[in-house]
Structure 1
Amino acid sequence: MVAALAVTQTIGYGVLYYAFSVFLTPMTRDLRAGGTQVAAALTLAVATTALCAPFAGRWLDARGGRGLMTAGSVLGTLAVLGWSQVHTLLQLYGVFVAIGVASAMVLYEPAFAVIMAWFDGPAYGRGRANALLAVTIVAGFASAVFLPLSGLLVELYGWRQALVVLGLGYGLAAIPLHALVLRGPAHQAAEATATTRGDLVRSAVRGRPFWLLAAAFTAHNGAVATIAVLLVTYLIHLGHPPVFAATVAGLLGVLSVTGRVVTTGLRRRWAAAPVAAGVFAVQGAGTLLMPVVAGSAAGAIGCVLLFGIGFGVGTITLPHLLSERYGTTAYASLSGRIALFAVADKAAAPLAAVALAQAAGYGWVMGAVAAACAVAALALLAYHRL
């Protein structure tokens, strides 16, 4: 089951999220629209995912992941095929609303909920951590695989046929794996009632620890999304060649895998919250140094290494902290509520950063990202003391 989720997450992120950047230029040309207008489709999809996350979470806690993730795979496949046929911006936006809904049903949040339910109970903590690590390590290579693959398909067949190939490939892999391989909890002694889950969620959201987690991972998501979107542009702005900028930015994917492995190892000796807080603080330091030293090749690489080590740490730390404090009975519902804020910030932060860069310069953007990392680190330290 873990292997199946590793495959479907890699293909899902590759097709439903990362491939968009490859199609942006040819779509802009064919739809006769501005680049910002076309790029807004992906922002709309991410915002839709955020809005759907709490509903998906409640469904997952009540009924498990098989039905939801299978239906989401079908919807995702149809949406990508529909994407290949759009001729107006309105059609594009409609398709990406569907992709946003599908993403809430099939990507990390539901996959993690399935893993949490399967590895239920304190005796399975290490198995749960290893399962999360395995899925995120494999899926961490989604961009490295699907960006060049999508580019090759566009070059060979054009962007519309490339989307047909990617959509069918996603459906052929994800639909049967989600339908046939996913299973319900293996170790739960008794099925929790909706009332029990509701009471647990209401109790959690009235407490300070939950909102400290929400603040930490919302701030961190915004920081990571901003760097992911603007790093290449910023390095070019500093005077680096485009090829160098793209190559250095590509280190983020590799470093996200490294950071997850290192953090999982450190958690076996120290508590998860201060470990993640330390990593977030290192990211903030790397961002603050960018305007000072990133003008040189060595300085740029060093800053990206500092930021990249925490690029994927939030992804595996939040599930651990939620299950550690609240158990797995209402994990998906609680995760969905945090995702409502964290994923929304992922959509909004890059747009705000672009506006800030145009108004005040990239130095202020790097300062804002560093401040977000500091907020995330301090919130986790406060959480750990409770």
Structure 2
Amino acid sequence: MMLSARRSLAAVTGLGITQIISYGTLYYSFSILAPAMGEEFGRSREWLFAAFSGTLLIGGLVSPWSGRWADRFGAGRVMTLGSLAAALSLILCACSPSWATFAPAFVTTGIATPFILYNTAFAVLVQIDPQSAPRRITYLTLIAGFSSTLFWPLATRLLMSFTWRDIFLFYAALQVFICFPIHFWLSQMTRRSPVIRPETTQEPVAANGGTLTQSSRRTALILIATGFAFASFALSAMLAHLVPVLGAVGLGTSAVVVGTIFGPSQFASRLINMVIGSRLSAMAVAILSTALIPLAFMMLLLPPPVPLIAGAILFAMLFGMGSGLNSIVQGTLPLALFGHQGYGEILGKITSARLTVSSAAPFIFAYILERFGPHIALTIAAFVGILGVITFIMVAGLVKRSTEGA
């Protein structure tokens, strides 16, 4: 037991390092490097973010495969190959002579992301120690939350002395010389998950830790994927336009200052969940995290007697907390309801729905924002978030009926 705990903690530390690097190199740095890319290729911000949305879309399409392979071959092996794929895609981007070659090369980074980001990292922790996995997932998201804090200023500083191409090559080196060895080491610790076998029994799969009966699993999976898709749409729409929206509602130069509250709030929610999260079920955390997102939007829609700056601060706090908890529950809720049997495949399907929907969110939100203004855009985003809350409440009802029936 002691050896298993040490292996699990070592895995969390190693994965924390690779998640910081992978999210930083493939996700967070883009907004910093995009202007330099656009200037060189003569492309507008819209073109650049169209390519970025393409990476999210292709990541969503590939996610079911990455989850299935994580179960079949071991999540550690999948992440090992993912590190090399990420490095190769970054090198292709750095060597692209024109936009016509850069855009498809950049989209290939989306192929690598499902193999090295949260969904496969969570599968590693489940395969090492299913019993402690929910707690380790919380620890991992707490560590990985520093990715934006580290890579936003790092990318800004590097861009002062190097070109974006040099930075991409440096990022590729990080994948090869840091992430690859850690993932290879983890591949020696992980084992394959048992495949999902269709059964007719109505009993919950107790041996695998899941609480759902076989007859309710398919419906629950559809509802959970839908709930996460709604939540991800609201999150992605706002994250891509956070500072512009705050400025559009009247904050002006204070928008950037208020926006900085998001990161610490995200970290605080994960820290609180680490301390007292065991007292709440994964289902309760899912409902709470999803509810915080539309509630945050409503803070920017409060009537005039409430000072705008107060509403904006409440928005940033609630939005950050909802985002922080959402990343945790993406891993813990499927594990709690379905167990560790076929966990990678289940998580891959959920991630596919989430990424596919969120890839379109920034463009849809931008269109509504420009055409109808910030208040309508916020109202619609809040409505989508509420649909997510309703969906997870339906899942809770399904779980209750499944448990009582058993």
Structures share a fold, TM > 0.5?
Answer: yes
C-alpha contact 1:47 1:343 (8 A) present in aligned 2: yes
C-alpha distance in structure 2 between counterparts of 1:30 and 1:160, whole Å: 11
The CA deviation string for residues 318-349 of structure 1, in whole angstroms up to 9 with x for no partner, is: 32221122111111111111111111112111
Equivalent residue for 1:112?
Answer: 122
* 1:227 and 2:228 aligned: no
Equivalent residue for 1:209?
Answer: 220
Are residues 29 and 205 of structure 1, via their aligned partners in 2, closer, same or farther at CA, if it must alter by over 3 Å? farther
Are residues 51 and 104 of structure 1, via their aligned partners in 2, closer, same or farther at CA, if it must alter by over 3 Å? same
Structure 1 residue 295, shift from structure 2 partner: 7.1
Secondary structure at the counterpart of residue 280 of structure 2: coil
C-alpha contact 2:334 2:343 (8 A) present in aligned 1: yes
Structure 1 residue 137, shift from structure 2 partner: 0.8
Select between 58-67 and 89-98 the one with higher mean Cα deviation. Answer: 89-98
Equivalent residue for 2:38?
Answer: 28
C-alpha distance in structure 1 between counterparts of 2:275 and 2:394, whole Å: 23
Map 1:1-386 → 2, pairs under 5 A: 1-120=11-130, 124=131, 127-185=132-190, 192=194, 194=195, 196=197, 207-242=218-253, 244-292=254-302, 296-386=308-398
Q: Which amino acid aligns with 2:136?
A: A
Corresponding residue pairs, total: 376
The CA deviation string for residues 193-249 of structure 1, in whole angstroms up to 9 with x for no partner, is: x46279999x6786322222112111111111111111101112233344x323322
Are residues 274 and 206 of structure 1, via their aligned partners in 2, closer, same or farther at CA, if it must alter by over 3 Å? closer
Equivalent residue for 2:403?
Answer: none
Q: Which amino acid aligns with 2:120?
A: P
Are residues 275 and 41 of structure 1, via their aligned partners in 2, closer, same or farther at CA, if it must alter by over 3 Å? same
C-alpha distance in structure 2 between counterparts of 1:198 and 1:73, whole Å: 36
Structure 1 residue 11, shift from structure 2 partner: 0.4
Select between 65-74 and 1-10 the one with higher mean Cα deviation. Answer: 65-74
C-alpha distance in structure 1 between counterparts of 2:185 and 2:385, whole Å: 40
C-alpha distance in structure 1 between counterparts of 2:25 and 2:314, whole Å: 31
Are residues 356 and 262 of structure 1, via their aligned partners in 2, closer, same or farther at CA, if it must alter by over 3 Å? same
Are residues 272 and 264 of structure 1, via their aligned partners in 2, closer, same or farther at CA, if it must alter by over 3 Å? farther
C-alpha distance in structure 2 between counterparts of 1:247 and 1:268, whole Å: 34
Q: Which amino acid aligns with 2:309?
A: A
Secondary structure at the counterpart of residue 291 of structure 1: coil
C-alpha distance in structure 1 between counterparts of 2:285 and 2:43, whole Å: 45
Structure 1 residue 356, shift from structure 2 partner: 1.1
Consecutive unaligned residues of structure 1, counting only runs of 5 or more, are none
C-alpha distance in structure 2 between counterparts of 1:205 and 1:164, whole Å: 48
C-alpha contact 2:196 2:342 (8 A) present in aligned 1: no
Structure 1 residue 171, shift from structure 2 partner: 2.1
Are residues 374 and 266 of structure 1, via their aligned partners in 2, closer, same or farther at CA, if it must alter by over 3 Å? farther
C-alpha distance in structure 2 between counterparts of 1:27 and 1:37, whole Å: 11
C-alpha distance in structure 1 between counterparts of 2:337 and 2:317, whole Å: 32
Structure 1 residue 269, shift from structure 2 partner: 2.1
C-alpha contact 1:64 1:184 (8 A) present in aligned 2: no
Select between 163-172 and 339-348 the one with higher mean Cα deviation. Answer: 163-172
The CA deviation string for residues 25-58 of structure 1, in whole angstroms up to 9 with x for no partner, is: 1111100122211221111111110000001111
C-alpha distance in structure 2 between counterparts of 1:181 and 1:61, whole Å: 15
Task: Quote the sequence identity (%).
Answer: 24
Are residues 181 and 208 of structure 1, via their aligned partners in 2, closer, same or farther at CA, if it must alter by over 3 Å? closer
TM-score by length of 1: 0.90
C-alpha contact 1:119 1:185 (8 A) present in aligned 2: no
Are residues 118 and 63 of structure 1, via their aligned partners in 2, closer, same or farther at CA, if it must alter by over 3 Å? same
Q: Aligned Cα RMSD in Å?
A: 2.4
Are residues 276 and 367 of structure 1, via their aligned partners in 2, closer, same or farther at CA, if it must alter by over 3 Å? same
C-alpha contact 1:273 1:384 (8 A) present in aligned 2: yes
C-alpha distance in structure 2 between counterparts of 1:250 and 1:72, whole Å: 32
